[in-house]
Amino acid sequence: MWRGVIHQYRKFLPVTERTPVITLYEGNTPLIRAERLADTLGIRVELYLKVEGANPTGSFKDRGMTVAISKALEAGATAVICASTGNTSASTAAYAARAGCRAIVVVPQGAVALGKLSQAIMHGATLIQLQGNFDEALEIVRGVSERFPVALMNSVNPFRIEGQKTAAFEVCEQLGESPDLVCIPVGNAGNISAYWKGFREYREAGAISTLPRMIGWQAEGAAPLVLGRVVRHPETVASAIRIGNPASWKPALGAIEESQGAVGTVSDQEILSAYRRVAEREGVYCEPASAAAVAGLMKYCREGRVSAGARVVCVLTGHGLKDPQTALMSAPPLQTVEAKLEAVVRAMRLG
């Protein structure tokens, strides 16, 4: 039986016998071969989707949260806090509930997908909506955690990165080797840093012999890494990555440089189009921010920057059901017909 990432990867993680393990059995997510999606890329690519929406709270954050909460508890914390565009708050709230510890989550008002809000509320977190954006929220919760005995659960907490690197271990095990290319959405820039750390450690351990190129993707309206400067008013339909001043800026650039990777932008239109394409062609429903990785791969292929036969992993960071509003908003209008067979047949447009 799978018992979560701390149990599975203990020797790679900063835990001891004294660390209380708070887990929801996160990790062990599917790596799905995506041939029908690959067929639309215009170049032959061996494409895989790492489906992180299959984690207990529906995003990759759970991998980092199990380690961060367990270490916070070990250190005697009774309350935790985070700023969030949604998924971190959902995961913090759930793991805090499991630990019997208080959670305070600070989110930008009106900018968090409904499913994520509902998770924080259901798990009993103290939810504070900020009249400001994520970057302001992060600055504030950092200040709070310095002044009060509440442990910070954002990815500036190094235990988050430690837990999240286990996704790279899984990808290597599932493929039997390292991929050539990893496409990943970038917001606060923790996850790309975590994957790179994971790949490097697995190579040092002799589990793989090569390393992938890390390709990070930001939304056009929220692309500080690409622009090389803070974006004061980030905007994108992909609310999870609406971040203008990423905390892990330096390690992310390190990952990109060391891996001979890249960071690029995709438009909201490209994100929404990839979002639908993954769902329609593979039966995998991810959230818009996750689709940025696929939109990015599509762009990279169009630009001729991917070699034929490359083994590519797109990291689908969160589940589509987190944000049904964006799905419906970006879909054609729904049709309603009279309760008659002929009306249904007409609507089927069979000819």
Separation between Cα atoms, residue 79 and residue 69, nearest integer Å: 10
Least separation, in Å, of the C-beta of 246 and ligand AN7? Answer: 7
Q: Which of residues 188-207 bind ligand AN7 (CB under 6 A)?
A: 188-191
Check: CB of residue 64 under 8 Å from CB of residue 42.
Answer: no
Check: CB of residue 326 under 8 Å from CB of residue 219.
Answer: no
Check: CB of residue 241 under 8 Å from CB of residue 292.
Answer: yes
241 forms part of the interface with ligand AN7 (CB under 6 A): yes
- Number of residues counted as binding ligand AN7 (CB under 6 A): 21
Separation between Cα atoms, residue 40 and residue 59, nearest integer Å: 26
Out of 81, 290, 294, 313, point to the residue binding ligand AN7 (CB under 6 A).
290
157 forms part of the interface with ligand AN7 (CB under 6 A): no
Least separation, in Å, of the C-beta of 42 and ligand AN7? Answer: 26
The site string for ligand AN7 over 172-191 (x = CB under 6 A, - otherwise) reads -------------xxxxxxx
Separation between Cα atoms, residue 111 and residue 85, nearest integer Å: 7
Out of 155, 157, 236, 259, point to the residue binding ligand AN7 (CB under 6 A).
155
Edge-to-edge, what's the strand order for the sheet holding 102-108?
126-130, 102-108, 79-83, 151-152
Out of 32, 73, 240, 312, point to the residue binding ligand AN7 (CB under 6 A).
240
Out of 29, 57, 84, 326, point to the residue binding ligand AN7 (CB under 6 A).
84
Residue with tokens 């971040």: 243
As given in the structure block, the two tokens for residue 124 are: 């009993």
326 forms part of the interface with ligand AN7 (CB under 6 A): no
Least separation, in Å, of the C-beta of 61 and ligand AN7? Answer: 6
261 forms part of the interface with ligand AN7 (CB under 6 A): no
57 forms part of the interface with ligand AN7 (CB under 6 A): no
Least separation, in Å, of the C-beta of 58 and ligand AN7? Answer: 9
8 forms part of the interface with ligand AN7 (CB under 6 A): no
Least separation, in Å, of the C-beta of 271 and ligand AN7? Answer: 11
Least separation, in Å, of the C-beta of 155 and ligand AN7? Answer: 6
Check: CB of residue 317 under 8 Å from CB of residue 52.
Answer: yes
317 forms part of the interface with ligand AN7 (CB under 6 A): yes
Least separation, in Å, of the C-beta of 183 and ligand AN7? Answer: 12
224 forms part of the interface with ligand AN7 (CB under 6 A): no
Give how far Cα 64 sits from Cα of 75, 153, 173, Å: 17, 9, 19
113 forms part of the interface with ligand AN7 (CB under 6 A): no
236 forms part of the interface with ligand AN7 (CB under 6 A): no
88 forms part of the interface with ligand AN7 (CB under 6 A): yes
Least separation, in Å, of the C-beta of 345 and ligand AN7? Answer: 40
318 forms part of the interface with ligand AN7 (CB under 6 A): yes
Least separation, in Å, of the C-beta of 199 and ligand AN7? Answer: 16
Residue with tokens 């803070």: 230
Q: Which is nearer to ligand AN7, 23 or 188 (CB)?
A: 188
- What is the contact surface with ligand AN7 in residues (CB under 6 A)? 59, 84-88, 155, 185-191, 240-241, 287, 289-290, 317-318
